[in-house]
Amino acid sequence: MDKNCQNLSAPQVKPTLGLLGATVNAMALIAPGAFLWITYQLQAAATSPNGASVASDIWAGIGLALVVAFLTALSYAQLAKLYPEAGFASCCYFAEKAFSDRDGSKHTAPTSLARIAKLLTAWSAHLFYWVYPGVMVAFMAIMIGYIYTQVTGDTLSISTLTVIATLFAFGVGYIAYRGVSGSTRTALWINIIQLGTLVIFSALAIYYRLTNPQAATQWAFSGVWDVIRPHSLSGVLIQSTLAILILVGFESCTALAAETKDPEKTIPKAIILSLIIQGIFAYLLEYFAAGIMISEKLATTVADGTTVTGMAAAAASSAPIGDLVKLLGDYVLPGVGFGLMITMSATVAIAIVGTTLSCMNTAVRVSCGMAENRELPQMLSFLHRNFSTPHIALWLLVGISSLIAAVGVRSVVGLTGIALASNFGTFILYGLTCIWTMVTFKRRKDFNFIKHGMIPFLGLISNIIMVVSILYLYSIGNVEARAEARICFLIAGAWALVSLLYVALTSVQKSYQVRLVTCLIRPEQLGDVVSALKRENLVMGMTVTDVRGFGRQMGEIDNHAPLDKEESIRFLPKTKLEIIVRDWDVDRAMTVIAEAARTGNIGDGKIIVLEASSAMRIRTGEKGVYAM
């Protein structure tokens, strides 16, 4: 074959990930090393509607949130096991198959439940996956600004933070651009670093409590049981709505199914393993350790000049975990408090790299899958020839993330509101997945009441409660909290409006426009192709022509010697079919023709789709789809 023809070969997605690779990619998105630092202040400052602190229920809230996460994770695992061929579209594919399999249809109509479910899932998935990286990019810029202030005493300007955020977004985008293998190696080392750091922090914190080097007398918690026990129902519920935000991401490996070996077994295991390691091991351990060491020795000065201590200091500090690490460095490892704090903050920054990278990889693959399904612009499905990465979608996401970060570094309220919108999409996505699990398995012979009924139902109820709780708590909060809720509603509403308009326009186009499908096939396959098209009710007429030609092989065929340079090109006999089909039926028609015409040998032919601006039935004057 000519070398130039070889270079035209479509990029292939190859399964390279094993259980370790799929798991570490999901683990990187959960990122306990990042979220302990980022969210502890919010959790310590949380209050009930009557203004009472609920900081004492942090650990119990995480426990409840883990239950909710596992209910959803088990639903994802069941769908991933049933549909290992889901590919990039993952969650959207699950939604479509739930109804198409139930109805026994191979092709979804524009207004079918299968398509509505797929699009609703895609809307929530994009709200989650395409907004979240921008939030993390902003957090990274803020983190770098914090480290800079601690080292120099100066403060970075907003414009400098914006530049840092943009450079970070493009840096992480470049790692993702290089392909999933490089991203996996990066995620592996990031997980090793952050888990190692958290184990060291937890061990030092527990040792601090046991030895009490500062002779503290007023501990935030009286002992082990006081840390882990529920103190009030409202406190546990409020803390769980915050804690669930740090557990999302376990499902991200489903978008890597096409790049995973034996996805039917690997992906379900990776979903559960990532949540066990990061949720049960990392989060429960580190939050227990942080709570057990807080005493009156943790102190900070608030805006009015007064000094607060203990959990109140954790609520008032911009980085309470950093303050705790300073105490560990000064009194457990004397003399290294500041250095230890800077070191841990650096590992937090590394963890932010991991969670941003993992979410970018997931986001662009979901978009690529939807574009391949012709539900998004086709350019989003283009894969890089060398790295098999959806590079057009990736660089678009990098630009959007930079814009989100530019807003986030200017306003904490704006950043929190944007994060709330992403979280809103997350819980809608999780709730929908639980519904699709119940729909998928309801009529199957392998239906299990516990796995396919009770667990997804409880997961659905839990996610609904989380959405309502988050929005309710922010809506009745202070002025800033209400502003954040408005930003969330504005983003989610605007995205819903844009999505509805896009879907409406594309649905009309696909329903009423026609395409000319031209096929060049082996003459002996004509009967099979015609029968297949009629069986699927995809054609009401066609034009068939006997033609001759050549393709990449320059007329070579199996069992023939390669052509010498002096020889003329052989023109091989082919059969040309021309068919007018609805735009909506193009993908199905191409699939049916390919399956019927394929022999697996060189020279099976080509299918070419051309836009037909219109069509007319001469006798009646009917146009468009009505002329077919």
In the chain, list all ranges with CATH 1.20.1740.10: 10-504
Mean pLDDT along residues 418-433: 90
pLDDT reported for residue 420: 84
CB under 8 A, 24+ apart: contacts of 452-461: 452/78, 455/71, 455/74, 455/75, 456/71, 456/74, 456/75, 456/78, 458/71, 459/68, 459/71, 459/72, 459/74, 459/75, 459/430, 459/431, 459/434, 460/431, 460/434, 460/435
Distance CA(152)–CA(24), nearest Å, equals 36
Helices then strands, counting H and E runs in the chain, come out as 22, 6
Planar angle of CA 218, 224, 229, nearest 5 degrees: 100
Mean pLDDT along residues 219-242: 90
- Which CATH superfamily includes the segment(s) 10-504? Amino acid/polyamine transporter I (1.20.1740.10)
Distance CA(316)–CA(311), nearest Å, equals 9
Nearest to 579 by CA among 546, 621, 555, 615: 615
Convert the pLDDT of each residue in 475-495 to its tens digit.
776 777 778 888 888 999 999
Distance CA(62)–CA(287), nearest Å, equals 9
- For the cut 50, the answer to whether the pLDDT of residue 3 exceeds it is no
- Work out the pLDDT band at 324, boundaries 50, 70, 90: very high
Contact assessment for residue 354 and residue 235, using Cβ atoms and an 8 Å cutoff:
no
Distance CA(87)–CA(77), nearest Å, equals 15
- For the chain, the C-alpha Rg in angstroms (whole number) is 28
- Phi, psi for residue 373 in degrees, rounded to 5: -85, 5
Convert the pLDDT of each residue in 526-562 to its tens digit.
999 999 888 888 877 789 999 988 877 665 554 455 5
- Work out the pLDDT band at 6, boundaries 50, 70, 90: very low
Mean pLDDT along residues 208-228: 94
Q: What is the mean pLDDT of the chain?
A: 87
Torsion, Cα 481 492 271 321, to 10 degrees, reads -20
498-507 as b/e: b if 16+ CB within 10 A? ebeeebeebb
In the chain, list all ranges with CATH 3.30.70.120: 514-627
- For the cut 90, the answer to whether the pLDDT of residue 56 exceeds it is yes
Planar angle of CA 146, 149, 152, nearest 5 degrees: 150
Q: Which residue has the higher pLDDT, 441 or 469?
A: 441
Mean pLDDT along residues 560-575: 67
Distance CA(466)–CA(231), nearest Å, equals 20
Distance CA(529)–CA(535), nearest Å, equals 10
Class of domain 514-627: alpha beta
- Work out the pLDDT band at 10, boundaries 50, 70, 90: low
